[in-house]
Amino acid sequence: MQRLNKLISGRSDIHIRSSIVMNINSFNSRKFSSTIKASSSEQETTIKKYGGMMGKNWDELWQNNQTPWDTKQGCPILRHLVENVYNNRSDLKHGLIPGCGNGYDADLMSGIKSIETVTGLDISETAVESANGKKESFSYGQVSKVSFVCGDFFNVDKKFDIIFDYTFLCALPLSLRESWAKQMKNLLNSKENPQSELVTLIFPLFKYNKNGQLETDPTVGPPYLLNFELVEKLLTQQGFTLIEKYPVPANLSHPARVNNEIIARWKL
Ligand SMILES: C[S@@+](CC[C@H](N)C(=O)[O-])C[C@H]1O[C@@H](n2cnc3c(N)ncnc32)[C@H](O)[C@@H]1O
């Protein structure tokens, strides 16, 4: 198992339970191409469990280049935090970006001076391939410290000093939200490092439906509408306390997401 993890991640200390690795492999190794198609019932099962959009699971979306969430850049607010908060700290050694997609935020996180490893995790093998293909072009951080790993967030067994959630919680099926909060608690290295933190970039606070009207139904998505109180409830139930929160200033948001994001930092 250790060897498998090492093969997957280049590190032996990321433990993904073996049963789940099998599930992930069966999920990911199926290339939903024109030649090998999953049966519609298998497809429904993976979508039900892990989510997806437009009737497709995450890997199919990545394979079809249907990635409307991809802003092609790291989050300016994360860069701001790296340069103004995290670079003044020496305790942030291991970082995680769950649902990393193309990995731009992993590049930013690897810019933290004290960082030793950044794991960009995605359940889609195609996303991980894509992120690995982009690694050469990353120019902000310390790319040698970044590993992209294919796996299920809910089955990672490892501790991190800093975790950054962006467009991950809002992408998950609503039924997984409490598990998301519990798993964030499991993953945070709070016993060894009481300063370890979870950073949530809460988005979208509003969105429009296909008729151009504001969507008010929180069950329509992904992305599912989020708000601070919802995230606060999920995390405080697990013992998290708020370090700070503020609406992301316009100059630190992607132009298409101005006034639609709140940054909140949490610790245990
Ligand atoms: C909306 S996309 C956001 C990607 C990236 N954060 C971005 O902003 O470009 C959500 C990502 O989460 C991944 N994902 C969904 N469920 C996951 C899980 N259980 N474990 C790991 N990744 C998951 C999907 O494959 C997808 O790439």
List the beta strands (DSSP E) in 136-256.
146-150, 156-157, 162-166, 197-202, 241-247
Pocket flag, ligand 1, residue 27 (CB < 6 Å): no
Pocket flag, ligand 1, residue 125 (CB < 6 Å): no
What is the whole-number distance in angstroms between the Cα of residue 66 and the centre of ligand 1?
Answer: 13
What is the whole-number distance in angstroms between the Cα of residue 187 and the centre of ligand 1?
Answer: 17
d(CA 56, CA 164): 25
Q: What pLDDT is attached to residue 50?
A: 84
Pocket flag, ligand 1, residue 74 (CB < 6 Å): no
What is the whole-number distance in angstroms between the Cα of residue 121 and the centre of ligand 1?
Answer: 8
Q: Whose CA is nearest to atom 3 of ligand 1?
A: 167
Domain boundaries, the chain: 2-63, 76-267
| Among candidate residues 168, 163, 237, 165, the one with its CA nearest the CA of residue 193 | 163
Q: Whose CA is nearest to atom 27 of ligand 1?
A: 101
Question: What does the DSSP 8-state code read for residue 222?
Answer: S
What is the whole-number distance in angstroms between the Cα of residue 233 and the centre of ligand 1?
Answer: 22
Nearest 10 degrees: CA dihedral of 245, 200, 230, 62? 150
Q: What pLDDT is attached to residue 41?
A: 60
Q: pLDDT truncated to tens, each residue of the chain (268 aa)?
A: 333 343 333 333 344 333 223 222 222 223 322 223 445 665 565 666 888 999 999 999 999 999 999 999 999 999 999 999 999 999 999 999 999 999 999 999 999 999 999 999 999 999 999 999 999 999 999 999 999 999 999 999 999 999 999 999 999 999 999 999 999 999 999 999 999 999 999 999 999 998 999 999 999 999 999 999 999 999 999 999 999 999 999 999 999 999 999 999 999 9
Could you tell me the two tokens for 40? 């519609």
d(CA 44, CA 34): 18
**β-bridge partners, 241:** 267
Could you tell me the two tokens for 128? 């991980």
Q: What pLDDT is attached to residue 161?
A: 98
d(CA 261, CA 237): 22
What is the whole-number distance in angstroms between the Cα of residue 229 and the centre of ligand 1?
Answer: 23
Pocket flag, ligand 1, residue 119 (CB < 6 Å): no
Pocket flag, ligand 1, residue 161 (CB < 6 Å): no
- Which residue is associated with the tokens 């995790």? 121
Pocket flag, ligand 1, residue 108 (CB < 6 Å): no
Q: What pLDDT is attached to residue 39?
A: 53
Which architecture does CATH list for 76-267? 3-Layer(aba) Sandwich (3.40)
Pocket flag, ligand 1, residue 261 (CB < 6 Å): no
Pocket flag, ligand 1, residue 69 (CB < 6 Å): yes
Pocket flag, ligand 1, residue 50 (CB < 6 Å): yes
Which helix or strand (DSSP H or E) is residue 40 part of? helix 40-50
**pTM of the predicted model, to two decimals?**
0.86
Pocket flag, ligand 1, residue 70 (CB < 6 Å): yes
Pocket flag, ligand 1, residue 129 (CB < 6 Å): no
Q: What pLDDT is attached to residue 49?
A: 80
